[in-house]
């Protein structure tokens, strides 16, 4: 946990990973959008192939 907030490790499809080298800004945008739809209230905090680490921000507004 970071700052008493749960962390989750997840994965995403290769289509988005391919953007990492060719279009870094597009990669960031697609990654955030993907996880905003899949896990509302969770925030991407780290990306390290093949994992994406998410923080649970549901109900933890500061």
Alpha carbons 12 and 35: distance in angstroms, whole number: 9
Mean pLDDT confidence for 42-53? 97
Altogether, the residues listed in the chain come to a count of 62
pLDDT tens profile 2-44: 566 789 999 999 999 999 999 999 999 999 999 999 999 999 9
Whether the Cβ atoms of residue 53 and residue 62 lie closer than 8 Å to each other: no
Predicted pLDDT at 11: 97
Predicted pLDDT at 3: 62
Whether the Cβ atoms of residue 10 and residue 56 lie closer than 8 Å to each other: no
Whether the Cβ atoms of residue 14 and residue 34 lie closer than 8 Å to each other: no
CA dist list (Å): 13 to 1, 50, 59: 25, 9, 28
């Amino acid at each position: 946990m970071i700052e008493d907030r749960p962390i989750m490790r997840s994965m995403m499809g290769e289509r988005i990973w391919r953007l990492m080298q060719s279009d870094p800004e597009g990669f960031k945008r697609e990654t955030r959008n993907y996880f905003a739809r899949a896990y509302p209230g969770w925030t991407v905090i780290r990306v390290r192939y093949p994992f994406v680490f998410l923080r649970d921000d549901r109900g933890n507004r500061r």
